[in-house]
Amino acid sequence: MKKDIFIGIFVGLIANAIGLFFSATFLGRGDDFVTVIKAAASEGFLGKLISLGAILNLIAFFIFIRKKQDYRARGVLLITVFIAVFTFVFKLF
């Protein structure tokens, strides 16, 4: 059970990182990833980019639900909630 939750957390982190990379490169209009992240941090929309990256967690969650791997889906859900709280706190400060 704990192993499946950790696998779900790992998949959620990887899916979010890939989603962040895709959203940054797509919205960056040709700039490299690091430049887009630095610009997003200086202009105050890094939290929005991180939230866009979490969309891939939705896909991973439903794949785990469809395969009846509920504990892995729970891990993805936990990391998604953590990212939402992190984004909220990051936006406040």
pLDDT digits (tens, 9 = 90+) for 26-39: 888 777 888 888 98
Sign of CA dihedral 41, 31, 24, 17: negative
Residues 6+ apart with CB under 8 A from 22: 53
Query: Tens digits of per-residue pLDDT, 36-74?
Result: 889 888 888 888 888 888 899 999 999 999 999 999 999
Q: Which of 45, 46, 57, 76 is nearest to 18 (CA)?
A: 57
Domain spans of the chain, in order of start: 2-92
CB 50, CB 87: distance < 8 Å: yes
8-state DSSP, 35: H
Q: pLDDT at position 44, please?
A: 83
